[in-house]
Amino acid sequence: MNYDNKFENVTVLGAAGKMGSGILLLTSMEMYDISKKPENKDKHYVLYALDISQKALSGLMMYIQDQLVKQAERKINALRSIYKDRADLIDNTEIIAQYVKDVMNIIRPVTTLESAYESHIVFEAASENPELKVKMFSQINLNSKVEPWFFTNTSSIPIGHLNKEANLSGRILGVHFYNPPAVQKLVEVIKCDESKPELSEFVSILIKNMRKIEVPSYDKAGFIGNGHFMRDAIYGMTTMESLRKDMSFAEAVYCVNKVSQDFMIRPMGIFQLIDYVGIDVCQFIMKVMRPYVTDETIHSPLLDKMMEINVKGGQNHDGSQKDGFLKYEKGKIAGIYDIDKKEYVKVEDISTKCDQTLGSLPEGHLPWKAVVGNKDKNNVLSKYFDAMKSQKTLGAELALNYMKKSKQIGEKLVTDKVAYTAEDVNTVLLTGFFHAYGPINDFIN
């Protein structure tokens, strides 16, 4: 395998999407770095940004250009070294402009799948739809002039299924970047039984060059990240339903969201996280996982109900959250959806009552931001959860039970050979979901 040669012709499918745009950005910068090596000066590198919408591709190119300026500003000293022989580039703005121009010159926005027929590498970041992925892979594979390697960003679909249905003969690997790829450090790598070893070798070099963290996962639907998240979400929604006998739907959602964020010291409550990913996306991931999981039910009737009334959550193009279980105003939670009333209830109308019902936060509580970067984090968390165990309140009880379930989910991922190790599970939740601590811990033993 020649790492550099593989990059001479590359395609990103779904390039204008949320994930595709980040993968395109990272790939274009890696290809630029490769092209600047003296031994590659006579080679021609091209990166096809493939999407179905010309309008979306125009927006993509503006996004890439803006992001490249930011990246160039961060590594201006390295760029000065690269352009040291260019007497016409004096100040930083000239060097940055040249870098952006050079990287953009590698990218070709296209709308036809035929553009990928000569690509050695195909990164796929299309929607989480098995039939669509198989269709695209099959068409490229049948018409390709080379033997392309396929790297799919799927977060849930078994790689072996895609390999078999598209007849790829092991030239496929799951390379699951987390959202947004340009920022998130985690990449889950999933190989099926037939995946050729040289693909894994290549991806390990790529991830290292991109300064990301690689975590391997077995080829089980949902992998580690969604394997934990979907089950964690189902437990949160089930807990919410159990509270409804004593309170309204909106109050129950508020309570579980507060417990899973504040009491458990997470960056988001579980209902906000579901909204962030998208109610529709979560429902679809569960649908993908369901046929492959035989000993438990990966399904949420509540998500089905929310979809029936067209409450989907998700994100706008600027990254702001759309209304889902929660209503958002200027990035803050302003309301809670009441499925019985079919309307949002103002947070201030229920928060006082719900907070009193849950009880106070345990002694030693610190918000997630104050904990996640704390050098004495483990000691802080240990004392905090010790205080929680001695506190006889509904909030403490719900949080401890939730943490026990989260740990059980994590351990089962290892037992069921989804994750290789408990450390891998914790790394995914720490790095991919920004948790302050991994689910497999001794804080509540």
What is the CB-side half-sphere exposure of residue 318 using CA atoms within 13 A? 4
Residue 146 confidence (pLDDT):
93
| Structure tokens, 432 | 């991919």
Residue 76 confidence (pLDDT):
95
Residue 156 confidence (pLDDT):
94
Residue 362 confidence (pLDDT):
96
Is pLDDT above 80 for 290? yes
Cβ atoms within 10 Å, residue 265: 25
| Structure tokens, 73 | 């500003």
Is pLDDT above 90 for 316? no
Residue 445 confidence (pLDDT):
78
| Structure tokens, 351 | 């928060």
Cβ atoms within 10 Å, residue 418: 22
pLDDT in tens, 206-244: 999 999 999 999 999 999 999 999 999 999 999 999 999
Cβ atoms within 10 Å, residue 19: 24
Residue 350 confidence (pLDDT):
97
Task: Kindly indicate the confidence band of residue 360, based on its pLDDT and cuts at 50, 70 and 90.
Answer: very high
Least reliable range by pLDDT among 83-92, 146-155, 197-206, 411-420: 83-92
Domains plus CATH for the chain?
3-217 (3.40.50.720), 225-432 (1.10.1040)
Against a cut of 0.85, is the pTM above it? yes
What average pLDDT does range 258-266 have in this prediction?
98
Is pLDDT above 90 for 405? yes
Place of tokens 């072996």: 160
Residue 318 confidence (pLDDT):
72
Summary mean pLDDT of the chain: 95
What is the bridge-based pairing of β-strands 46-50 and 9-13?
parallel
pLDDT in tens, 333-352: 999 999 999 999 999 999 99
Q: Which residues contact 274 (CB under 8 A, 6 or more apart)?
A: 233, 282, 303, 313, 324, 325
pLDDT in tens, 18-30: 899 999 999 999 9
Residue 444 confidence (pLDDT):
86
Task: Kindly indicate the confidence band of residue 410, based on its pLDDT and cuts at 50, 70 and 90.
Answer: very high
Residue 145 confidence (pLDDT):
86
How far apart are the C-alpha atoms of 408 and 439, rounded to whole Å? 8
122, 11 in Cβ contact below 8 A? yes
Residue 420 confidence (pLDDT):
98
Is pLDDT above 90 for 319? no
Task: Kindly indicate the confidence band of residue 425, based on its pLDDT and cuts at 50, 70 and 90.
Answer: very high
Report which of residues 318 and 129 the model is more confident about: 129
Q: Which residues contact 199 (CB under 8 A, 6 or more apart)?
A: 149, 151, 171, 172, 173, 191
How far apart are the C-alpha atoms of 359 and 380, rounded to whole Å? 21
What percent of the chain stands above pLDDT 90? 93
How far apart are the C-alpha atoms of 61 and 46, rounded to whole Å? 15
Residue 202 CB-density burial (10 A; 0-12 exposed, 13-18 middle, 19+ buried): buried
| Omega within 30 of 0 (cis) for the link into 267 | no
Please list, residue by residue across 349-387, b when 16 or more beta carbons sit within 10 angstroms of its beta carbon and e when fewer do.
ebeeebbebbeebbeebbebeebbeeeebeebbbebbee
Is pLDDT above 80 for 311? yes
Query: Is residue 41 classed as helix, strand or coil in its secondary structure?
Result: coil
What average pLDDT does range 354-379 have in this prediction?
96
